[in-house]
Amino acid sequence: MQDALRPLIVSGYARLARAPIVASLVSLEDLYLGVLIAAKDMSVRLRPELKVGESFHDEHIVEEAVRSGALTKDESLLQLLVRLRGSAPPESLLRAITNSLTDRYYGLESLALASLMERSDHSLKIHALPDVSGYAQTPEEKLALARSWLRCWSRPGFWLSRMPPAWWLRDVQPRSGKFKTMSRLLRDKGAQSLFEKEWVPQLLSLFAVQTAPGKFRLEGRELSLAIGGEWASCQSCRTAQRPFPGRTTCVNCGEDTAVRIDPDSDPVFAARKGYYRASTIDALRTPPTAPMVLIAAEHTAQLNTAQTVEAFSKAEEHELLFQDVDLGRRRQGASGRRSMFFPARQRWRLVSTSVLSRASRSATCPQPAQTTSSAQAARVGAEPQWQP
Ligand SMILES: [Zn+2]
């Protein structure tokens, strides 16, 4: 699901961050709205698995708002933003969204697509933090230092107000705010000490809440996404990262081997990550290229009872569609294209044919195995292909 969602997350969030009135308010709390807007914008049908009591009605709210021009009217977009902040995303979708940000290997930063940054109205507060001699004296260096600290929270994660309480301490964890990783960047003892005494308490008050003595939780509502911009890749450990002004110190391994790259054209980076970046880059183009049609359907007991007017139960219908059995026009998608279903629990991965064709041109990209279903999907041209 991550491959499918990544383009929607990045292009939808970029859209919100560009809108003048909402730009200073937009935070990671709005990732859900961004995904829904991008899905509507690119006519991508999204069907997340729903738990008992959950609804995906927000999709219709966003559809109606987009249809009446909310994307071009700041006031309407602001209303939509406020309204969606009050509703709960389906848990499966929220998990897929947060995983797309925090995944160590296929997360947005690892793929040089986007990285964590402060919500835009915090930038001036970071400029006002005391100089760290030799490391952070200009506004640009101070932002880079604060963002390096935010990066240290990738493992413990950030908290969103609509996360289920059960995720706390399991999926999102507290930290003290003092990270060993920062000492790889700030090698000078005096700079380390000043950072821990003067910066960390202020960064914690801006970006985190205290949950226990000496323990803090990073708050997604105080954070935003930096999309595009400059990137570096470490020649020692191959970690993608933002370049620190005037330095080549790798934030991961501490070697002075983090060199600036263009992730779109660097042959080594493209060979390793290009396959996973392609659909997001396509979605950011003008006009955007939609990633795929994506529908997740559950084979559960609750779906197994056929309604009196239906010949098949939902589970039977999904199974037949999955086997490429034609159930007639009424069963096909609104666009007239065949609907494709998959049981979410089997963790099927799907990619668009355009991504696959790019992959097949590159010898170093992972080659997906052809399955009966993908071979069938290939017959309908633009339809997505499947791979386990
Ligand atoms: Zn490194």
- Phi and psi at 79, nearest 5°, equal -60, -40
Give residue 238's region: left, alpha or beta (phi > 0; psi -120 to 50).
left
Between helix 2-18 and helix 91-102 the angle, nearest 10°, is: 80
How remote is the CA of residue 104 from the centroid of ligand 1, in Å?
Answer: 14
Q: What is the mean pLDDT of the chain?
A: 81
Using the mean position of ligand 1's atoms as its centre, give its distance from the Cα of residue 181 in Å: 11
Q: Position 279: which residue type?
A: S
Is 311:320 a contact under the CB 8 Å cutoff? no
pLDDT of amino acid 21: 86
Instruction: Report residue 86's pLDDT band, with 50, 70 and 90 as the boundaries.
Output: very high
pLDDT at 66: 92
CA dist., res. 78 & res. 382, Å (int): 35
Q: How confident is the model at residue 8 (pLDDT cuts 50, 70, 90)?
A: very high
Q: What is the mean pLDDT of residues 205-212?
A: 98
pLDDT at 313 over 60: no
Task: Tell me how far apart the alpha carbons of residues 20 and 16 are, in angstroms, rounded to a whole number.
Answer: 9
pLDDT higher than threshold 90 for residue 202: yes
Please return the burial class of 251, using the count of CB atoms within 10 Å of its CB with bins 0-12, 13-18 and 19+: buried
Ligand 1 center to residue 258 CA distance, Å?
6
Q: Which two tokens stand for residue 327?
A: 């159930």
Say how many Å lie between the CA of residue 119 and the centre of ligand 1: 27
> Which helix or strand (DSSP H or E) is residue 158 part of?
strand 158-159
Res 360: pLDDT: 37
> pLDDT value at position 317?
55
Calculate how far, in angstroms, residue 92's C-alpha sits from the geometric centre of ligand 1. Answer: 33
pLDDT for the residue numbered 192: 96
Question: CA-to-CA distance for 207 and 322, rounded, in angstroms?
Answer: 46
Answer whether residue 208 shows pLDDT above 90.
yes
Sequence ranges of the domains in the chain: 1-112+277-296, 115-228
The pLDDT of residue 291: 80
What lies within 8 Å, CB to CB, of 325 at 6+ separation is none
Statement: residue 345 has pLDDT above 50:
no
Query: Which tens digits make up the pLDDT trace of 176-192?
Result: 999 999 999 999 999 99
| More confident of the two residues 324 and 93 | 93
At 287 the pLDDT is 85
Residue 290 CA, ligand 1 centroid: distance in Å: 34
Model confidence band, residue 319 (pLDDT cutoffs 50, 70, 90): low
Centre of ligand 1 to C-alpha 110, Å, is: 12
Q: How far is the CA of 269 from the centre of ligand 1 (A)?
A: 14
| Least confident among 56-70, 141-155, 204-218, 325-339 | 325-339
What's the mean pLDDT in 358-384? Answer: 36
Q: Is the peptide bond before 288 cis (omega within 30 degrees of 0)?
A: no
Region 252-273 average pLDDT? 95
Contact 132, 186 (CB under 8 A): yes
Cα(249) to centroid(ligand 1), Å: 8
* Distance in Å, CA 261 to ligand 1 centroid: 14
Which pLDDT score, from 0 to 100, does residue 20 have? 87
Task: Specify the 3-state DSSP secondary structure of 323.
Answer: coil
Residue 166: band (very low, low, confident or very high) from pLDDT cuts 50, 70, 90: very high
Ligand 1 midpoint to CA 276 (Å): 21
Residue 45 Cα distances to 64, 77, 353, angstroms: 15, 21, 17
Q: In what order do the strands lie in the sheet with 158-159?
A: 158-159, 215-219, 208-212
Partners of 159 in beta bridges = 219
From the centroid of its chain, how far is CA 72?
Answer: 24
| Selection from 118, 264, 124, 250 nearest residue 242 by Cα | 250
Which of 92-101, 121-130, 365-374 is predicted least confidently?
A: 365-374
CA of 251 to the centre of ligand 1 (A): 7
Going by pLDDT thresholds of 50, 70 and 90, the confidence category of residue 363 is very low
Among 14-23, 74-83, 314-323, which is the least confidently predicted range? Answer: 314-323
- What is the CA(184)–ligand 1 centre distance, in A? 10
What six digits make up the tokens of 374? Answer: 């993908």
pLDDT in tens, 133-157: 999 999 999 999 999 999 999 999 9
Cβ 46 vs Cβ 89: under 8 Å: no
Give residues with Cβ within 8 angstroms of 83, minimum separation 6. 61
Output 291 or 200, whichever has higher pLDDT: 200
Provide the pLDDT for residue 320.
52
Higher pLDDT, 355 or 122: 122
Per-residue model confidence (pLDDT) at position 3: 80
